[in-house]
Amino acid sequence: MAIGHFSSFVCIKCIQHITKFFVWPIAQYLAALQISYPALVRHFVKFLPSDDRPPLLYNAFHRLSLGELVTLQGRLPAEAQKILSGLQSGCPVLYRMILHDKEIQRLIEEERMIEPFEPELLNPASLDLRLGDNIMVEVEHTAELQLQSIAHCTVDNPYWLAPGEFVLAETREIFNMPNDVCGMFCLKSSRAREGYEHSHAGFADPLWAGSKLTLELVNARRLHSLPLYPGLKIGQMIFVITAGIPDIDYAKVGHYNGQARVMPSWEQSV
């Protein structure tokens, strides 16, 4: 069966929609009809909306074997050829592609990457995160941090983080990362300018799931306390597509899946 026979039944708008959301399932289906995935990519690439091509092409290409990539060499439009050449060189153009607002929202709505979700939390290339209801604080009688609820705290009656004080906190949001997307947390610039500090430990691996992000917060100011309360916009998550689907499964080797509240180091908890 020729590719042309398949496309003759589908309008261009349909092809755009199918390519955007269903390329891989269609490729598996067409395999039974002896239509190769490289041929499918080569055929459909010209119908992709120009502003969506890079992420969609990358998602398509990173599922191909080296042999299949070679078969596409020289047979694609220039934009697709640039991405393909990068993949073959080992330094792909989109190895560290940061997802924009539309793609973040799509992953949230279709794959439940973040729960709960409010559209007003979206930024051009990140998602704002809010503090949750629990923190862990340091006390004198033990080295182990102690769980403390701040669910009752408000903007007018917050938990006051003293100068130099360290706490673990949690996000309100629960994460369910796809198998080819990772996330990097950073403070909101406004919080940083107010004196909050966060350790550079907020990395979310692909397949990290069912968990709130634990935050390591410090008040860097010398003379004044800083407020903590549920709903405070504390930081933002940047989502990055990986250079393929990892072989190592975080669901099997990770230590922080299924954690619905702030948690200390797993090495101190065993």
- Distance, in Å, from the CA atom of 126 to the CA atom of 204, rounded to the nearest integer, reads 14
Cis peptide preceding 116, ω within 30 of 0: yes
Selecting among 68, 165, 194, 216, the annotated active-site residue is 216
- Distance, in Å, from the CA atom of 133 to the CA atom of 170, rounded to the nearest integer, reads 7
* 196 token code pair: 């909050």
Cβ atoms within 10 Å, residue 266: 11
Residue listed under structure tokens 């398509």: 60
Pair 235, 185: CB distance under 8 Å: yes
Q: For 216-245, give one letter per residue: b (16+ CB within 10 A) or e.
A: ebbbebeeeebbbbbebebbbbbbbbbbbe
Q: For 118-134, give one letter per residue: b (16+ CB within 10 A) or e.
A: eeebbeeebbbbbbbbb
Q: For 44-81, give one letter per residue: b (16+ CB within 10 A) or e.
A: bbebbeeeebbbbbbbbbbbbeeeebeebeeebeeebe
- Distance, in Å, from the CA atom of 260 to the CA atom of 231, rounded to the nearest integer, reads 16
- CA angle centred on 167, ends 162 and 172, rounded to 5°: 115
115 is catalytic: no
- Tell me which residues are annotated as active site: 216
